[in-house]
Amino acid sequence: MKLGIISDTHITSNTEIDQITSLISQLKNVFKDADKIIHAGDVCELFFLKELEKIAPVSCVKGNVDEIENLEQFIKFSVSRYNIGVIHILPENLEEFMKEQDLHIIIFGHTHIPLIKGTKFNTLLLNPGSPMEPNVPPQKPGFLKPVAKSTVITLKIDENDVISTFIITLKL
C-alpha cells in the first residue's frame, strides 16, 4: 500500500490558477502510483479535493480554517498490521491519545513544517508540511540556516510490513 500525504494546501478560488495547475501536475507525478491520498486538513475549498480524487481516492480531515462540510476532526484506518490516525493539530497529551486510539502512525498538519519522527512510545509521527505555504523549520546548532520548502510525503507499507516514508520537495 502506498499513501500520498499532503496537508495545509490553503487553496481557494483566489489562488492563482498557474499555482494550482503546477501543484496538481506535480502531485500527479509524485502520487501516480498511490493507492490513497491522505489530506491532513486546511484544504480550504472542496474543488481542490475533487482534483486530488482524479489522482487517487482521498481521505481528509478538517483543518482549523476549513469550511468544507462533512469533514471529520480525526479519522483512523489500518494498513496491514498498522493502525494509522489522521488529525490536523496534534493533541496536547500525544502519548495518551496514541494509546487510547491504539495507533502506530499519526499523520498531522498545521505546522507547515515537514516531519518524520519516531517517538519514545514507539509511534511514528508524519507531517507532510505544506506545498503552498511552507514554514522554515527551527535551526539546529551546527547546521546551515534552514529554508522553507514546498513538501509532501509518501508512505509505503510493503507485503512484509516494512515501512518506507519520504519527504518530497516540490517546485512551487
Pick the closest to residue 59 from 105, 115, 7 (CA basis).
Answer: 7
**CATH code of 107's domain:** 3.60.21.10
Q: What are phi and psi of 21, to 5 degrees?
A: -60, -45
pLDDT digits (tens, 9 = 90+) for 56-76: 999 999 999 998 999 999 999
User: What residue numbers bound the domain in which 70 lies?
Assistant: 2-169
The residues, any chain, with a CB within 8 Å of residue 99's CB and separated by 6 or more, are: 121
Determine the Cα–Cα distance for residues 119 and 116; give it in Å rounded to an integer: 10
Q: What are 38's three cell numbers?
A: 491522505
Share of the chain above pLDDT 90, in %: 98
Q: What is the pLDDT of residue 112?
A: 98
| Length in residues, the chain | 172
The per-residue pLDDT for 67 is 85
Average pLDDT value for the chain: 96
Q: What average pLDDT score do residues 141-158 get?
A: 96
pLDDT in tens, 12-38: 999 999 999 999 999 999 999 999 999
Give yes or no for residue 172 having a pLDDT over 90. no
* pTM across the whole model: 0.96
Domain count, the chain: 1
pLDDT tens readout for residues 76-112: 999 999 999 999 999 999 999 999 999 999 999 999 9
Q: What percent of the chain has pLDDT over 70?
A: 100
